Amino acid sequence: MFRDDTGGGRRRPSRNVLGQALQPCSLEPVTGFYRNGCCDTSAEDTGSHTVCIVVSEDFLAFSKARGNDLSTPMPEYGFAGLEPGDRWCLCAARWQEAFEAGKMPRVMLQATHEGALDHCNLADLKRYAMDLS
């Protein structure tokens, strides 16, 4: 996964919050701003869909209450709806909002884009990581 480097049109590999190559988040369901399975981002992604989450029932209810229903299928958009256990590229600001409300889902740091750090604290993400050894 690559993103444009606006300093001359070069492309460089996307990095995760640990400073390593960004890993895929999910292909089933397919996720990401670019629907490429990765939480890759660019200036076009104004929502910063950069946090790879593992969906929980609590988070789905929280998100729906905040006006973003992620569980209801929307076939007209090719969206089957999320279920607990699915992985999804979530907007970093939404993860932070859920964190502050105590409803944050677990995260996969290796698949969370470094751009998430513009909205979220790495220490907080690490506390809820499922992929730290």
pLDDT at 60 exceeding the cut of 50: yes
Using a pLDDT cut of 90, give the percent of the chain over it.
Answer: 86
C-alpha to C-alpha distance for 41 and 116, rounded to whole angstroms: 10
pLDDT at 98 exceeding the cut of 50: yes
- Average pLDDT score over the chain: 91
**Is 130:111 a contact under the CB 8 Å cutoff?**
no
- Ordered DSSP codes for the chain: -EEE-TTTS-EEE-BBTTSSBPPP--BTTB-TTTTSSS----TT-TT-EEEEEE--HHHHHHHHHTT---SS-BGGGTB----TT-EEEEEHHHHHHHHHTT-PPEE-GGGSBGGGGGTS-HHHHHHTBSS--
What does the pLDDT read at residue 77?
Answer: 84
Q: Tokens 């890993």 identify what position?
A: 23
Q: Which residues pair with 74 in a beta bridge?
A: 79
Query: Which tens digit of pLDDT belongs to each residue from 64-86?
Result: 999 999 999 999 988 899 999 99
> What confidence tier does 132 reach under pLDDT thresholds 50, 70, 90?
confident
What does the pLDDT read at residue 40?
Answer: 95
Query: Which tens digit of pLDDT belongs to each residue from 105-121?
Result: 999 999 999 999 999 99
